[in-house]
Amino acid sequence: MSSIKKFQVTFDCADPERVARFWCEVLGYVVPSPPDGFDTWDDYNRSLSPENQRSWFACMDPSGQGPRMYFQRVPEGKVAKNRVHLDVRVGTGLVGEERLAVLEAECARLIALGAVCVQVLRADEENESCISMQDIEGNEFCLD
């Protein structure tokens, strides 16, 4: 039996390109080249039927290490808490006030991109600090 080593993270959303470009900024990801035969993503989209234009977008880790992120347009809006969320690991190895300062600085950067800070969870006897946030369409994620 073989084990699967690669996976893709898929987001349902209203505006795939906007959400993908937000996550490019968060993670340092890049937009892949348009499909063969197209100079730009706009050229590619113009080749599709109107209902399929701009129905998806993707971004990828330029190093090839992280998972591809795929964003697909869906008709319904987000109505409940995510069952799965991303932890953006900006404070790895840091503790106490040093960790919290790094998390808060990243939180401020992401708020400027359109994210929302939901809750700052300060360290206690069992857990280090983390910050609960939402992306530009309300998907939950944590700065960890």
The yes-or-no verdict on residue 4 having pLDDT over 90 is: no
Asked if the structure places residue 47 within a domain, the reply is: yes
Q: Are residues 67 and 93 in the same domain?
A: no
Among the residue ranges 3-17, 56-70, 113-127, the one predicted with the least confidence is 3-17
pLDDT at 110: 98
Average pLDDT, the chain: 93
Which of residues 3 and 22 earns the better pLDDT score?
A: 22
What's the CA gap between 20 and 16, in Å, rounded? 6
pLDDT at 50: 94
Asked if the structure places residue 128 within a domain, the reply is: yes
Give the closest residue to 88 by CA, choosing from 107, 116, 114.
107
Number of domains composing the chain: 2
Asked if the structure places residue 125 within a domain, the reply is: yes
Q: Which tokens in the block code for residue 79? A: 């109505």
Number of H helices, E strands in the chain: 3, 7
Q: Are residues 51 and 100 in the same domain?
A: no
How far is residue 37 CA from its own chain's centroid?
28
Range(s) of the domain holding residue 69? 8-73
Give the closest residue to 134 by CA, choosing from 76, 70, 86, 71.
86
The yes-or-no verdict on residue 15 having pLDDT over 70 is: yes
What's the CA gap between 13 and 130, in Å, rounded? 25
SS3 29: coil
Segment 66-124, tens digit of pLDDT:
999 999 999 888 888 888 899 999 999 999 999 999 999 999 999 999 999 999 999 88
Which of residues 77 and 32 earns the better pLDDT score?
A: 32
Rounded to two decimals, the pTM is: 0.88
Q: Are residues 48 and 102 in the same domain?
A: no
The yes-or-no verdict on residue 1 having pLDDT over 90 is: no
